[in-house]
Amino acid sequence: MSTRNLMIVAFALLMCLSIRPRLNASSPYPRYSRQQMIEHFQQMNPALEMTLNPHVEKRVKRMIRGGRRGTEIFLGRSATFFPVFEAYLEAYDLPTELKYLSVVESALKQDAKSKAGAAGLWQFMPRTGKAYGLDINQQVDERLDLFKSTESAVRYLADLHKSFKDWPLALAAYNCGPGRVRKAMKERRSRDFWNIRSLLPKETQDYVVKWMATTYVMSYYYFYDLRPAYPDYDLQFIKAIKIYSSKSLTRISKETGAPIAVLRKLNPSYKQGIVPSNPYGNFVVVPKIGLIKEYDEMDIQAVSLKQ
């Protein structure tokens, strides 16, 4: 073979080697091992009664394939909220995997609102929110308060589990109400969620499935080359300050140096941009980076455990 031909072959080989990783990288989704998935489910908290069935597996595939971008956004947003969720769940001695419920409820959007009237990270309806101590009035909607809504959601979950003594049933009740779950249990004479699933509203049938799939994917995302899409630092790293007298977010912005747009984003519960007076203090979430003057700073755990 001539030198020229050798050079052509060598160049072709180099091109093939350079193209292969690009083809793999541009593949719509990475390959996965079902056996590996089975093993991961077996390793998860047995108290949660996680089940890998065709319904859950289908949802997992959706999250790691066509829904990859959305999953990466959830993973990024979790950096802001999960430390708070975990602190509350640990304080109430509940499984920390319940933090993934908020992904299903609101896609981790603090100001999320549904057509039915639910609001916040945990999608409280007004009646349930008020029953668990959340104020909803012209000044504030504490369903949108990161700390207060999370504590209320954890208390509600604890009560539901105490009643049903089963996490899939408790989560179904969180979605459609305890009455509908008890009615389905009575009709089927069963305490197994999968046995009564078809008698529940379609949204609830999918709800528990979504939670199980979300818990799995967000626990093992690195096996599927999912990369968190983190928000800006000002939204990702947060702390809280305590306010006793009425004060506007605009004034707090000037006094702390935190951008007003960021304060509004982190504190949607204050409807008019004003923190009302409170002898016990109200918490305002601010970026962790930067010097905060004239305020009592609280770390996330202190705020979460000492309302």
CA angle 90, 96, 100 (to 5 degrees): 140
pLDDT at site 62: 94
Per residue in 264-292, pLDDT (tens digit) is: 999 999 999 999 998 988 889 999 876 56
Packed helices 202-219 and 167-176: angle between N→C axes, nearest 10 degrees: 130
pLDDT at site 34: 85
Of 105, 142, 151, 203, which is the active-site residue? 105
CATH architecture of 34-224: Orthogonal Bundle (1.10)
Provide the β-strand partners of residue 138: none
242 vs 261, residue with greater confidence? 261
272 vs 256, residue with greater confidence? 272
Whole-number Å distance between alpha carbons of 117 and 208: 21
For residue 33, is pLDDT > 70? Answer: yes
Q: Which residue has the tokens 């959830």?
A: 74
- Residue 31 structure tokens: 């390959």
Average pLDDT over residues 13-42: 59
For residue 183, is pLDDT > 90? Answer: yes
DSSP state of 136: B
pLDDT at site 40: 92
Per residue in 78-90, pLDDT (tens digit) is: 999 999 999 999 9
pLDDT at site 293: 60
What are the residues whose beta carbons fall under 8 Å from the beta carbon of 232, sequence distance 6 or more?
none
- Residue 60 structure tokens: 């997992």
For residue 4, is pLDDT > 60? Answer: no
Q: Kindly give the residue spans of alpha helices, DSSP state H, lying in 192-296.
A: 193-196, 202-219, 233-236, 249-256, 260-266
Per residue in 225-239, pLDDT (tens digit) is: 999 999 999 999 998
pLDDT at site 9: 41
9 vs 184, residue with greater confidence? 184
Average pLDDT over residues 66-82: 95
Q: Which residue has the tokens 């977010």?
A: 249
Q: What is the DSSP string of 62-129?
A: HHHTTTHHHHHHHHHHHHHHHHHHHHHHHHTT--GGGGGHHHHHHTT-TT-B-TTS-BTTTTB-HHHH
Q: pLDDT band at residue 242, thresholds of 50, 70 and 90? A: confident
* Buried b or exposed e, range 285-299, using 16+ CB within 10 angstroms: bbbbeeebeeeeebe
Element (H, E) at 298: strand 296-298
Per residue in 90-139, pLDDT (tens digit) is: 999 999 999 999 999 999 999 999 999 999 999 999 999 999 999 999 99
Asked if residue 223 lies in contact with residue 32, where contact means CB atoms within 8 angstroms, the answer is yes
Average pLDDT over residues 21-28: 42
For residue 22, is pLDDT > 50? Answer: no
Q: What are the φ/ψ torsions at residue 123 (nearest 5 degrees)? A: 50, 55
- Rounded mean pLDDT of the chain? 88
Q: Which stretch of 32-36, 164-168, 211-215, 254-258 has the lowest confidence by average pLDDT?
A: 32-36
129 vs 293, residue with greater confidence? 129
Domain boundaries, the chain: 34-224, 233-305
Picking from 204, 131, 143, 141, the residue whose alpha carbon sits closest to that of residue 174 is 204
Q: pLDDT band at residue 302, thresholds of 50, 70 and 90? A: low
pLDDT at site 255: 87
- 105 assigned to active site: yes
pLDDT at site 289: 73
* Buried b or exposed e, range 80-95, using 16+ CB within 10 angstroms: bbbbbbbbbbeeeebb
Provide the β-strand partners of residue 133: none
Asked if residue 307 lies in contact with residue 91, where contact means CB atoms within 8 angstroms, the answer is no
Whole-number Å distance between alpha carbons of 189 and 201: 18
pLDDT at site 46: 92
- Residue 283 structure tokens: 């918490």
pLDDT at site 292: 60
What pTM did the predictor assign? 0.86
pLDDT at site 296: 64
Whole-number Å distance between alpha carbons of 107 and 11: 48
